[in-house]
Chains A and B, each alone.
Chain A
């Protein structure tokens, strides 16, 4: 379990990192390393060069404002999870992050790294997609913004070009009258979920005007289903778009069953959350 030989570069500037990446087709970017390093050790990945971005300046930020939360490429999960302001602006971040692996992994792993690793069993890619967020990427060719809906190409595959580095993710704020919820079932605490479900609902006067659900571990890519018009049986609507599969931990049928169990629970939680927030806002307005 030792990696195959690779060149190692720890650039001091983003420009240097982007130039190196553009010049080395076999290079991989190292941030938190929580997925990449095991892949290297098991020789499932053998990049010619590792470009370690941990020395780059100005990428460790977690910046909440009224529009949402901006998370830099070097912000650790633990940092994002610990931000009360971020949780205030977008509560789903903390709800989901507390399910990401274990504290020691969250101390090192980066949220942006998890997004571009594009694992459909990971929480944050689904969260980004559900919230209709985006990722800013840079390359020697310039900067562009990739909407979450265009980020995930396939299993463990993002749409980023080889020479691009994701520098920041944007998670939109939770609008007034909206609520979120998250639940997952895993074999052990901190494991990848057998099934995870998040909900984002918008309400007006207590009535649901929009309801969307995001799913973890029941498809090849993070899937979001709009169930606004299927509130009587949202799980059935979701299952029509999901592809639960067998693996050594659970059968496809069990995963489908968990979708049916969790979907109404999470949806109800989110509606409750939305109404709670509306009530609090009303109280505040009255005061």
Chain B
């Protein structure tokens, strides 16, 4: 019997290629094609302005410029606004931009004109020559300005409110009114962004001989892009292929589609009859892709003497930027996932999703959960502080207990399904975390540090993450006559190690060698039905689909092999690609089974000779039986009833410098439960990356917009993504494996976990070190210094 690969730390087979610089990203494609053209985009320098004239006359006579488009050059569906991808009844005033601005621009960075030239240098020279006359309008920047609504982003959206949504389970306000204790909190989270190493990018080639369009895009959904391109360019879907090459990170921003360039590049390629490439640069990524996270929250909570929450009423305001292509996903997730592992007896949540003259907001790793976690965990800490109780005790009091699953919250989740947790063991997770971080020994450590004049604090934060959101993913498993196994699944890969993790599943399920399995993702030619990679769903959705498809291939292999070996299927096993009768020498290679599965008319090699219709099968029967298909293949789809809910808890010990207010991480501990682990090394890698991104979001990164709507830090010089020197050198991780009952492998998603509790856990630890409330994140040393001054003044006044 071969060793089971599922659950083992198989090294990522991708890394050899990536680490040696042999990845092939969009910008690497077609570089040897002398006909390749390059695009650059004129972007709005103003946050809010009317366009009164665009003069491109100085452009086309520039040597090397091939074409230029403005809105007036667009026709048909291309002249309509971009799609609103996820409509929602509460999104009463959804607005999307045009591929190229029509009459008005609503954020710095909005696309106005599209230039195609022989290289990107010339294209940028041309962009600089386009003259646009603007009539400047007053911009709306920040949530306060959006709420005040003294000015409107869109004239036809009153109050700048795109959506208002309310959900309630029980009667939260009445429960709070009746509660023995109540607290009110105001909690802010600022904007950040995904900032993948590779920005956006698209290449398109139109083949006039076959009337076929091929688009390569750095996307998290090739099927989504394909649908949009076909619809917008008026092409039959069958004429469009979208392929996702290696993608240098996504973290959410590449799930939004179609970007203007994702349509303009194919349009230009078709119009010009030459391949066209757009590679986004870093400044463009900052000002014309997407951001997330900015929300302001007002919390009222009522609780009893034990800290048990009796009623929770949360109102929040979500800054969604200038347009709403991705609907209300982020605030809906905040409003539902805020609850974490707790069961407030009565819960009401209301949010307004607001327009501002800033870059659009779409999900960024965590997608509204970091804000929700911040709100809930800050509330738990406030209750503990008020009652003078240990923070872990208050949490324990409010946990959903292991025997309460499935647990229904009485709310509707982002997928339109009831918010129902499938499994988890929160008390066990908390016990592990306390042990891992040394919670009970911390006061000794604090005293020891204090004796040296050092100031330390500890915090913890718990979260539950809905993962593996539907509607479905599919997989196709094909055993070739060589015995090699080719697997296709439609969702895309941005570095998660899908080749490794999915091949582990196939190797185990089908009984083949790991090395013989090749996984293709994100290629609509191989798998035209797919959704995409987001919401920590790839392992759950495609992993399950691949498992099911491999089972089908296995069933077929056993059926054919049983016939060939004249044995009962139950007596067969498949190990390392060989089917054998258990306990005997009788065996047949899977490749040979594949030969037998496909009766041929023509012989072209040794294997095919063995498969001609004259050498296989019963001459009295049809070569392919009525209910059968040729080939050793399996295809299946996985479509769960609802999401599966992973959970975790983080704790951090920080040191705050009494003099400089610098914040140093001394220890970071994670307990993580994503059900069965396919590959613990990959899961831990995801946690490490998430924690690193979370450190950025909590202590370093912010989008520094000024009041005129200019983004002041649109570069990696001033947008402080943490370096390796700012990230904890070790992250202590412990796993709990509470399987999901919703899928055959018992797995849950893990991709976003590491980032969700960061703002909450750092706020808690800094608060614990400093002794005054931390209510806004991120926090810099300069801000901590200001808070110290403010609280010192208060104490004098008091």
Contact = CB atoms under 8 A, between A and B. Distances in A.
Interface of A: 1-5, 38, 42-43, 102, 185, 187-191, 194, 248-251, 253-254, 257-258, 261
14 contacts: A1-B281, A2-B121, A4-B124, A42-B715, A187-B781, A188-B726, A194-B781, A251-B782, A253-B785, A253-B789, A254-B781, A254-B786, A257-B785, A261-B660
Contacts of B785: 251, 253-254, 257
Nearest to B712: A248
B732 interface: no
Contacts of B720: 187-188, 191, 249
Given A187-B720, A189-B723, A261-B660, A2 B124 contact: yes
A227 to B, nearest CB: 20
Interface in B611-663: 659-662
A5 B660 contact: no
Interface string B706-727: 0000001101011010110110
B182 to A, nearest CB: 35
Nearest to A265: B659
A189 to B, nearest CB: 4
User: Which of B283, B660, B715 is the most central at the interface, judged by chain A CB atoms within 10 Å of its CB?
Assistant: B660
A116 B282 CA distance: 28
B54 to A, nearest CB: 20
A79 B704 CA distance: 37
A261 to B, nearest CB: 5
Contacts of B715: 42
Closest 8 CB pairs of A and B: A189-B725, A250-B782, A1-B281, A254-B782, A248-B704, A2-B121, A261-B659, A254-B785
B125 interface: yes
B780 A5 contact: no
B660 A188 contact: no
A217 to B, nearest CB: 13
A183 B663 CA distance: 17
A194 B281 CA distance: 28
B272 to A, nearest CB: 21
Contacts of A249: 718, 720, 780, 782
B125 A5 contact: yes
A263 to B, nearest CB: 12
Contacts of B723: 102, 188-190
B786 A2 contact: no
A129 to B, nearest CB: 24
A209 B704 CA distance: 46
A188 B695 CA distance: 12
A189 B281 contact: no
A257 B788 CA distance: 12
A2 B704 CA distance: 24
B514 interface: no
Nearest to A2: B121
B662 to A, nearest CB: 7
A251 B120 contact: no
B174 interface: no
Contacts of A253: 785-786, 789
A259 to B, nearest CB: 11
A4 B717 CA distance: 21
Nearest to B789: A253
A32 B648 CA distance: 47
Interface of B: 120-121, 124-125, 128, 281-283, 659-662, 700, 704, 712-713, 715, 717-718, 720, 722-723, 725-726, 780-782, 785-786, 789
Given A2-B121, A188-B700, A188-B720, A43 B660 contact: no
Contacts of B662: 185
Contacts of B718: 248-249
A1 B282 contact: yes
A127 to B, nearest CB: 22
A187 B780 contact: yes
B283 A1 contact: yes
Contacts of A4: 124-125, 128
Contact of A188 (B124, B722, B782): B722
Given A1-B124, A188-B700, A251-B786, 10 more contacts: A2-B120, A42-B283, A42-B715, A187-B780, A188-B723, A189-B723, A190-B723, A190-B725, A258-B660, A261-B659
Contacts of A42: 283, 715
A3 B725 contact: no
Contacts of B281: 1
Contact of A189 (B282, B660, B661, B726): B726
User: Does more than half of chain A's interface fall in helix, strand or loop, or is it mixed?
Assistant: loop
User: Which of A3, A191, A249 is the most central at the interface, judged by chain B CB atoms within 10 Å of its CB?
Assistant: A249
Contacts of B717: 38
Contacts of A257: 785
A261 B781 CA distance: 14
Contacts of A1: 124, 281-283
A4 B124 CA distance: 8
A5 B121 contact: yes
Nearest to B280: A1
B121 A3 contact: yes
Contacts of B121: 2-3, 5
A192 B720 CA distance: 12
Nearest to A261: B659
B725 A188 contact: yes
Contacts of A2: 120-121, 124
A52 to B, nearest CB: 18
B219 to A, nearest CB: 22
B115 to A, nearest CB: 12
Contacts of B282: 1
A4 B718 CA distance: 23
Given A1-B281, A3-B121, A248-B712, A43 B128 contact: yes
A42 B286 CA distance: 14
A250 B725 contact: no
A189 B120 CA distance: 33
B657 to A, nearest CB: 9
A272 B213 CA distance: 72
Contacts of B712: 248
Nearest to A46: B128
Contacts of B722: 188
B725 A187 contact: no
A102 B724 CA distance: 12
A185 B723 CA distance: 16
User: Which of B723, B782, B786 is the most central at the interface, judged by chain A CB atoms within 10 Å of its CB?
Assistant: B782
Given A1-B283, A187-B720, A261-B659, A250 B781 contact: yes
User: Which of A4, A188, A191 is the most central at the interface, judged by chain B CB atoms within 10 Å of its CB?
Assistant: A188
Contacts of A258: 660
B780 A250 contact: yes
A218 B120 CA distance: 39
Contacts of A5: 121, 125
Nearest to A195: B660
A258 B720 CA distance: 20
Contacts of B661: 254
Contacts of A185: 660, 662, 781
A187 B700 contact: yes
Contacts of A43: 124, 128
A102 B120 CA distance: 29
B193 to A, nearest CB: 15
A257 B661 CA distance: 10
B557 to A, nearest CB: 52
Contacts of A194: 781-782
A44 to B, nearest CB: 11
A234 to B, nearest CB: 16
B659 to A, nearest CB: 5
B119 to A, nearest CB: 8
A43 B659 CA distance: 40
A185 B722 CA distance: 15
Contacts of B283: 1, 42
B198 to A, nearest CB: 14
Contacts of B660: 185, 258, 261
A266 to B, nearest CB: 13
